[in-house]
Amino acid sequence: MEPEVSKISSMFSCSCPRCRKGKMFKHSMFHPTKFYVPQDDCAHCGLHYEVEPGLFWGAMYVSYSFAVATIVSIWLFMNFILGVQNLAYYIFIICSALVLSAPASFRYSRMFMLYWFSGIEYQPNYQHTK
Ligand SMILES: [Zn+2]
């Protein structure tokens, strides 16, 4: 029997929420141009990832909250820990952080929607029949 994969670790590895084995994205998160290309269905259990129309529209709001958390965290750190006074530094650092974190934000906002709002249950022994 295979060891059970936790919900959090399978979410961070962008695995299927039903079987936790198939991958949701075709390429690595670090691929410069194809980090966002998703699989339509799970290669292992056959789950169609967009379980209802517009599910991933909600991921935009999750992604927005990630961006706000990033901006506030950087502002707090730069203002209260480093004591930076120059506005140009804030703009440069925050814009750089948002661009660099865009692939992770894109992926994890979708995974967040799939794991927490889609209603898909973990079924480790699910058998895919074609
Ligand atoms: Zn699956």
CA of 59 to the centre of ligand 1 (A): 20
> So what's the pLDDT on residue 27?
92
Q: What is the pTM of this model?
A: 0.85
What does the pLDDT look like over 13-24, one tens digit per residue? Answer: 999 999 999 999
Taking 70 as the pLDDT cut, the residues of the chain under it are 1-3, 129-130
* Residue 87 structure tokens: 């506005």
> So what's the pLDDT on residue 4?
77
CA of 58 to the centre of ligand 1 (A): 21
Q: Which residues is 38 bridged to in the sheet?
A: 25
CA of 44 to the centre of ligand 1 (A): 5
Which residue type sits at 2? E
Check if the beta carbon of residue 12 is closer than 8 Å to that of residue 21.
no
> So what's the pLDDT on residue 2?
66
Buried b (16+ CB within 10 A) or exposed e, 46-78: bbebeeeeeebeebeebbeebbeebeeebeeeb
CA of 4 to the centre of ligand 1 (A): 14
CA of 92 to the centre of ligand 1 (A): 40
Cβ-Cβ contacts under 8 Å for 101 (sequence gap 6 or more): 66, 70
Domain chopping of the chain, boundaries: 7-117
